[in-house]
Amino acid sequence: EAQVTQNPRYLITVTGKKLTVTCSQNMNHEYMSWYRQDPGLGLRQIYYSMNVEVTDKGDVPEGYKVSRKEKRNFPLILESPSPNQTSLYFCASSLWGKVNEQFFGPGTRLTVL
Amino acid sequence: QQPVQSPQAVILREGEDAVINCSSSKALYSVHWYRQKHGEAPVFLMILLKGGEQKGHEKISASFNEKKQQSSLYLTASQLSYSGTYFCGTEPQTGTASKLTFGTGTRLQVTL
C-alpha cells in the first residue's frame, strides 16, 4: 500500500531533550516536506527537500533540523525542544514536477513540557 | 505571507452549494486545495496551475484567476462527507516547487 508513515504518532517530552520524528514514504517520491499545524494558524511549512541531499527552509524553520540521506526517509530533528514547539506535525511527499499532489502522513502530536 | 481564505466557517444543509475563496498578495504559479477531516491528515482535492492546467477529483471544481491571484473552490450539492476543514496552499511564481504556503483554513459543516 502506498503510504507515508510517521513515528512516533504521539510524544510527550521535556524541554531540551533532543528528539527525532521519522518520516518514510514507499512511493519513490522525490519531494518531501514537514509541516506543523496549530489551531487558527493552518499548516505551516518547516522544511522541504527536493531530492536526496537537497533541503531548504520553509516558513518556520527555527528550532528544527532535517536531513535527506535516503530518498524514502526525511527525519525531523528537534535538538533542544521548547514548549512553543508543542504542535501537530505532518510529513508529506510527492513526485517532483508541476502537478505535484502531496500525500500526507498520519501526523505526530508532540507535547513539550 | 499566508493566503487569506474566506469564509472562515460555513454551515450548509445537505444538497446546498458553497464557495470557498483563497486570495494571495503574491504572484502565483499554482494553487492547491486540500480537505482535512477531524483527527485525520489533509487529503488532496485539486491543483490549479498558471496557464490553465489542473488536476483533481471529478466531483470537485475550482477556478484560478491568475491576474487577481485568487482561487475559488466550488462545492455543489454538498454531502455529509464534505464536512471538514478546507485549506488552500499557494506556490509562488518563481516556480521553484514546492515552497507551499497554506491558508488558515475554512471549516465546513454539512448537516441534514
The total number of residues shown for chain A amounts to: 113
At A94, give phi and psi (nearest 5°).
Answer: -160, 165
Q: How far is A45 from chain B (nearest CA, A)?
A: 7
Which residue's C-alpha cell is 527525519?
A75
pLDDT tens sequence across A18-38: 999 999 999 999 999 999 999
Q: How far is B93 from chain A (nearest CA, A)?
A: 12
Q: What is the pLDDT of residue B95?
A: 56
Please, which pLDDT band fits residue B50 given cuts at 50, 70 and 90?
A: confident
* pLDDT, mean of residues B40-60: 87
Alpha carbon distance B101, B91 (integer Å): 7
Percentage of chain A modeled with pLDDT above 90: 88
Beta-carbon separation of B102 and A42 below 8 A: yes
Beta-carbon separation of A104 and B101 below 8 A: no
pLDDT tens sequence across A35-78: 999 999 999 999 999 899 999 999 999 999 999 999 999 999 99
Q: Chain A residue closest to B32 (CA)?
A: A101
Residue B74 has pLDDT above 60, yes or no: yes
Q: Which residues of A touch B100 (CB under 8 A)?
A: 33, 45, 48, 102
- Virtual torsion, Cα B52, B100, B74, A98, nearest 10 deg: 30
Alpha carbon distance A72, A68 (integer Å): 8
Q: Which has more pLDDT, A37 or B1?
A: A37
Q: What is the pLDDT of residue B97?
A: 56
Strand partners, A5: A24
Please, which pLDDT band fits residue B96 given cuts at 50, 70 and 90?
A: low
